[in-house]
Structures are given as C-alpha cells and as structure tokens.
A = this chain, B = another copy of it.
C-alpha cells in the first residue's frame, strides 16, 4: 500500500493513484519548480495525454494532490480508533517536531517533506487557488484540533483552556517549526521538543 492508494480510495481510478504517487515522489526529489507533466508521465510509464484526460494542467493536478494528501494527513492523526485526546495532540506534534538522531548528517525525510510543503504553500502568495486550498486545509486542521482539545477538557484530561485559542497557538507553533526547518539550519529541535512538552504539561495537561 502506498500513500495515495488505500481502501478509502477503492473507487479512485488506479491510474490516478499512480499519477498522485509519482507526483509525491517527484515533488520530494525535485521540488515545485522541478516537476512537470512529462516527468510524471515518464515515471508512471504512460503518455502525457493520459494525464491530460484527468487533469487540465499541472496546477489542477497539484490541487488534487494537495487535497488527497490533506485527507491522508487528517486520517493519520484524527482517524485512529482507541486514542485519547492527549494521544492525538502528542501524535500531531510528534509528526512535526521529530528529533533527528544525533550525528545524523544526511537530510531526514521530515526536512525534505517540510521543504516540499513550504515551497508549495508559498505559491499561495501569488496564486489565489493555492491560497484557498491552504486556507481551507488550515481551517480544517484548526477545527479538528479544537475538537480534540474540547474532548480533552470534557474527559478531564486537559485543563479548562480556551480551545480555539490553544489550537490557534499550536498551529502557529507547528507552522513556525516547518518554515524554520525548510528555510534555515538554525532550528534546535531538541530544545523545541522539551519546550513544547513543558508547555503542554504546564498549561494543558491535568
């Protein structure tokens, strides 16, 4: 099973899944400016016309890609059975702030993902379609996170914090981690990890 094909996609055409999977790989390898319809077609082993059968252009293919990736992301965090609100919150943060092994020189997969994500999201500055996509997906994550925090309060796991405010803060923090990770060498993940854990213990967990 690959990232872009699982049971939730049983009605999605197999070729489309292969196209999205190839898009994902090429984005990670070459970034937003390095990706083209011909490259995706080559990777899948189909002709460009097959891709144009499904998508008008590179932008609409990437819009679909972002949409599916967003759904996958939400499922991974919030769609799990038998998790507590605290597990969900921890899992959400752990996905963003992973401490690379000490002495690890090579670029971690997380940094590569952060770079791809930041590069795509920066298209929002000049492209209103991207802006709408990323605004929607951030609103969506904010809503889910707020529900998680509300559930934590209801179940007595969390202190009676303001759920909207807390999720707004967490999302800003996580976006900052991604942006710094993608664009500088200055981030100290270990320090941030301990800071956020202390913050959660102090302000949110009972």
Of A166, A183, A192, A196, which is in contact with the most chain B CB atoms at under 10 Å from its CB? A183
Interface residue from B33, B131, B173 paired with A184 (Cβ < 8 Å): B131
- 6 shortest A-B CB distances, which residue pairs? A176-B176, A172-B176, A175-B176, A124-B183, A138-B186, A179-B179
Q: Which residues of B contact A118 (CB under 8 A)?
A: 122, 125, 179
Q: Determine the distance from Cα of A38 to Cα of B179 in the docked complex, in whole angstroms.
A: 31
CB distance from A146 to the nearest CB of B (A): 11
Q: Is A191 part of the contact surface with B, judged by Cβ < 8 Å?
A: yes
Q: B176 near A135 (CB under 8 angstroms)?
A: no
Q: B177 near A191 (CB under 8 angstroms)?
A: no
Interface residues of A in 156-206 (CB under 8 A from B): 164-166, 168-169, 171-180, 182-188, 191-192, 194-196, 199, 202-203
Q: Which residues of B contact A135 (CB under 8 A)?
A: 184-186
Q: Which residue of B lies closest to A121 (CB)?
A: B183
Q: What number of A residues sit within 8 Å (CB to CB) of B?
A: 46
Q: Which residue of B lies closest to A141 (CB)?
A: B186
Q: B184 near A168 (CB under 8 angstroms)?
A: no
Q: Is A142 part of the contact surface with B, judged by Cβ < 8 Å?
A: yes
Q: A168 near B183 (CB under 8 angstroms)?
A: no
Q: Determine the distance from Cα of A199 to Cα of B166 in the docked complex, in whole angstroms.
A: 11
Given A172-B177, A179-B176: A125 touches B131 (CB 8 Å cut-off): no
Q: Which residues of B contact A138 (CB under 8 A)?
A: 180, 184, 186
27 contacts between A and B (CB under 8 A): A31-B125, A118-B125, A119-B125, A121-B179, A122-B122, A122-B182, A124-B183, A125-B182, A131-B183, A131-B185, A134-B183, A135-B185, A135-B186, A138-B180, A142-B186, A164-B188, A164-B191, A165-B195, A168-B187, A168-B192, A169-B195, A172-B173, A172-B192, A176-B177, A176-B179, A178-B179, A202-B203
